[in-house]
């Protein structure tokens, strides 16, 4: 894909993601694979009002080709996902309430979801009876170290739809902009449902004490 086309798609996605409330306070970052490497949003900036000037163009090793803006610290994780998943064309990283809280209260290193019709919105899923497992990695300000953990995990359990970073947010992955937007919306919906379910179970447990 051409850089300009990729950037236009991410600008549109940014408006939508921002309206959903998933990237508050300039959080999150977006990227897309291109013929020369990938384009990625710069550090900071409201993701609902991005322009071409808010992007960097990087090569396949993450070296800057164009863009005078400061790269996001999380650029390395985008690069790792492209290197690990040949089919990945777009990565949307969000900081939603549901992803943040659910990853924080889940003690395991994966979030298992089952019984939801919405699971079928994720590529490869045909039934609510299957279990969707999203890996959870502990948050780390050392993104190189975090990227290594994600890479190690991928060797034995390939990442398909995305990963959660604990107390931080979601990295959704897709084979094109439409798929990544569908994966992101489905996962955020599932996280919200699961969070509501856990809250109700918690309230019920308190009532029956």
Check: CB of residue 56 under 8 Å from CB of residue 42: yes
Measured from the Cβ of residue 19, the count of other Cβ atoms closer than 10 Å reads: 10
Check: CB of residue 161 under 8 Å from CB of residue 183: yes
Q: Please indicate if the annotation marks 168 as binding a ligand.
A: no
Single out the residue of 94, 60, 83 nearest to residue 151, CA to CA: 83
Q: Please indicate if the annotation marks 95 as binding a ligand.
A: yes
Beta-carbon contacts of 33 under 8 Å, excluding residues fewer than 6 positions away, are 1, 6, 82, 88, 89, 90
**Cα angle for residues 24, 10, 172 (degrees, 5° grid):** 65
Task: Quote the CA–CA distance of 171 and 110 in Å, as a whole number.
Answer: 14
Structure tokens belonging to residue 29: 């970052």
Task: Quote the CA–CA distance of 134 and 159 in Å, as a whole number.
Answer: 8
**Which residue in the block uniquely carries the two structure tokens 């694979």?**
33
**Cα angle for residues 120, 121, 125 (degrees, 5° grid):** 40
How remote is the C-alpha of 194 from its chain's centroid?
Answer: 18
Instruction: Pick out the residues of the known binding site.
Output: 93, 95
Binding site as annotated, residues for Zn(2+)? 93, 95
């Amino acid at each position: 894909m051409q850089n300009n086309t990729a950037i236009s798609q991410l600008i549109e996605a940014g408006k939508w993601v921002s309206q959903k409330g998933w990237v508050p306070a300039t959080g999150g970052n977006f990227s897309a694979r291109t013929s020369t490497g990938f384009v990625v949003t710069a550090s900071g900036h409201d993701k609902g009002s991005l322009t071409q000037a808010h992007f960097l163009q990087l090569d396949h090793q993450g070296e800057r080709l164009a863009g005078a803006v400061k790269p996001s610290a999380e650029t390395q994780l985008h690069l790792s996902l492209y290197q690990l998943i040949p089919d990945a064309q777009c990565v949307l990283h969000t900081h939603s309430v549901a992803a943040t809280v659910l990853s924080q209260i889940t003690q395991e290193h994966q979030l298992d979801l089952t019984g939801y019709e919405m699971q079928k919105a994720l590529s490869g899923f045909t039934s609510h009876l299957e279990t969707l497992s999203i890996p959870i990695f502990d948050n780390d300000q050392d993104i190189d170290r975090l990227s290594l953990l994600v890479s190690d995990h991928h060797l034995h359990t390939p990442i398909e739809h995305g990963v959660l970073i604990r107390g931080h947010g979601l990295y959704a992955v897709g084979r094109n902009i439409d798929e990544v937007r569908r994966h992101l919306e489905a996962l955020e919906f599932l996280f919200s449902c699961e969070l509501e379910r856990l809250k109700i179970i918690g309230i019920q447990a308190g009532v029956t004490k």
